[in-house]
Amino acid sequence: MWHKIKTIIRFFYHRVVLISISIAIVIQLAVLIAVILRFNNYFVLFYWGSIFISIFTVFWILNDKINPSYKIAWIIPILLFPIFGGLFYIFFGGNKMSKREKKKLKAIGLKIQNALAPQPLILEDMMLHDKGAVAQSRYIQNIAFFPPHKNTTGEYLPIGEIKFERLKEELKKAEHFIFLEYFIIQEGVMWNSILDILVEKAKKGVDVRIIYDDLGCLLLLPRNYCQKLNQLGIKCCVFNPVRPVLSAKINNRDHRKIAIIDGHTGFAGGINLADEYINEIEKHGYWKDNAIMIKGDAVWNMTVMFLSMWDYLKGVDEDFSEFRKNNLFKMESSEGYFQPFADSPFDDETVGEIVYLNLLNKSNKYVYITTPYLIIDYGMTKALTSAAKSGVDVRIITPHLADKWYVHAVTRSNYRMLVENGVRIYEYTPGFIHSKTLVSDDEYAVVGSINMDYRSFYLHFECGVWMYKSSSVLAVKEDFLSTLKVCKEITMKDIKNVKWYRRLIGTILRVFAPLM
């Protein structure tokens, strides 16, 4: 009974916080409009001034380096609402950083480069197998600065329940440090079990650190939860705290899901620390997700990934090398190549998208993809359809049950173009599939947090693990084929039977998809 009362109180408390933030933003907008109305005698001057700002903004957008679809999504509302459109883009559009933030990120970028030495010998070894693999790997190393590694093993984890058990097992073995970076953390069976282990480890002197995204946890964690963790001996950082002010920074979120234990064991994938991910609670039917656990040298990439974010949020300058000397893991065997990599929205390079495109463009036999959101631009659509037209077996699994109806509507609005050109689309009928995987030709796979949508490609901090000639690649393929057995293939007949008004809604929403 008391548990139910606490749940109700927490629910309304979160709603009060969210409503308060929303009201604060609405008040700011109301004040802006009131000022405009107060000076209505100068309306003509204000009107033409706004028109000039909107025209200037449109030219600014057209000459920017951002994705063309993102440009269109902003230009249309600016043209429809010229008085406010330009001002809204100035406030909310794009990725804006102060000079101080740019300087800070540049310094951290240099630290990442210094901590992660290029691996020319591994690339030479890879060259013996496939020059195409070297080109893909070298791109990640040269642009994102995360090199490939051997002396590493991987275990693909096809559902959240298995990842949960493996993560607990590895956390209990920690002797030096535990780093967790997650978009969503929510109190419940999964998180409470993990937290008990973390508290115990912290008491024994293990360096336990957590980063979580404030927007991702806004309705899921109590207020000042970070302070509670600090009081328990767990160091904590909150990414981009939500504040009741008009700001474009809310666009950028930390969408990664990684765990690192002692520098020798790492987890990545789509699984957050909340009960729906292990099906302790039902949310949109059965929740299908996955992760990859790696052990060995490649975990150093993930350690640097976490520490660089920690430096950025805390404003500290730690010596990353101090965390490598604790890597006491001795490999009994090694198989394939592993290359964990990160993607930032502030480096003018869409690493996650290009990794996907490289795999699509270089595939010869098949490309199998799972994604919860299929909100793609012309370039990605062209890559998928061109591969299919070339005889490559291109298949994509998306959810049957939606977590966000409007996003699902955009996903389904993309089916026609793909199916007409030979791409096979399947919907996961038991519920919601949250996996983000790509596997190709029994040779390559990527497992990570990167959705096939604009937010993941352009606005979020993301990560993934690129794999080549590993047994984990075949495990990803096997999981995909197994999942197909409970999926429904979407045919042209299905697409043509969609009600006209649903097609209309999807068509309209597609225009604004980059802003979702």
On whether the CB atoms of residues 215 and 189 are closer than 8 A, the answer is no
Cβ neighbors of 154 (< 8 A, separation 6 or more) are: 292, 293, 294, 295, 335, 336, 338, 465, 467, 470, 471, 472
What gap in Å lies between CA 302 and CA 299, rounded to an integer?
A: 5
Q: What is the pLDDT of residue 324?
A: 84
Mean pLDDT check: name the lowest of 6-15, 73-82, 361-370, 375-384: 6-15
On whether the CB atoms of residues 338 and 446 are closer than 8 A, the answer is no
What is the DSSP code string of 230-253? HHTT-EEEEES---SS--GGGG--
Per-residue pLDDT tens over the stretch 126-175: 988 888 899 999 999 999 999 999 999 999 999 999 999 999 999 999 99
Mean pLDDT check: name the lowest of 49-53, 209-213, 345-349, 373-377: 49-53
CATH of domain 351-515: 3.30.870.10
On whether the CB atoms of residues 150 and 125 are closer than 8 A, the answer is yes
Per-residue pLDDT tens over the stretch 297-346: 999 999 999 999 999 999 888 989 888 866 655 665 667 999 999 998 88
Portion of the chain with pLDDT greater than 70, in percent: 81
What mean pLDDT is predicted for residues 477-506?
Answer: 90
Residue 474 has pLDDT above 50, yes or no: yes
Residues paired with residue 489 on neighbouring β-strands, in sequence order: 426
CA 502, 509, 515: angle at the middle one, nearest 5? 155
Residue 55 has pLDDT above 60, yes or no: yes
Residue 69 has pLDDT above 70, yes or no: no
Q: What is the pLDDT of residue 70?
A: 67
pTM metric for this prediction = 0.86
Q: What is the pLDDT of residue 209?
A: 98
Per-residue pLDDT tens over the stretch 415-461: 999 999 999 999 999 999 999 999 999 999 999 999 999 889 888 99
Structure tokens at 165: 């058990």
Nearest to 308 by CA among 448, 465, 140, 112: 112
Nearest to 216 by CA among 192, 190, 182: 182
What is the DSSP code string of 99-142? HHHHHHHHHHHHHHHHHS---HHHHHHHHTT-HHHHHHHHHIII
Mean pLDDT check: name the lowest of 28-32, 207-211, 313-317, 408-412: 28-32
CATH of domain 99-340: 3.30.870.10
What mean pLDDT is predicted for residues 366-376?
Answer: 95
Residue 473 has pLDDT above 80, yes or no: yes
Residue 4 has pLDDT above 70, yes or no: no
Q: What is the pLDDT of residue 16?
A: 46
Cβ neighbors of 12 (< 8 A, separation 6 or more) are: none
Give phi and psi for 95, each to the nearest 5: -110, 105
Higher confidence at residue 508 or residue 145? Answer: 145
Residue 246 has pLDDT above 60, yes or no: no
Mean pLDDT check: name the lowest of 84-98, 339-353, 463-477: 84-98
Higher confidence at residue 29 or residue 235? Answer: 235
Q: What is the pLDDT of residue 132?
A: 87
Give the count of beta carbons closer than 10 Å to the beta carbon of residue 53.
19
Distance of alpha carbon 514 from the chain centroid: 15
Per-residue pLDDT tens over the stretch 275-293: 999 999 998 899 999 999 9
Per-residue pLDDT tens over the stretch 12-48: 444 444 454 455 556 555 655 665 566 556 656 666 6
Please state, rounded to an integer, the average pLDDT across all residues of the chain: 85
Give phi and psi for 72, each to the nearest 5: -60, -40
Q: What is the pLDDT of residue 21?
A: 46
> In 3-state terms, what secondary structure has residue 377?
coil
Structure tokens at 320: 């990353």
Q: What is the pLDDT of residue 442?
A: 96
Residue 78 has pLDDT above 80, yes or no: no
Q: What is the pLDDT of residue 14?
A: 46
Residues of the chain with CATH 3.30.870.10: 99-340, 351-515
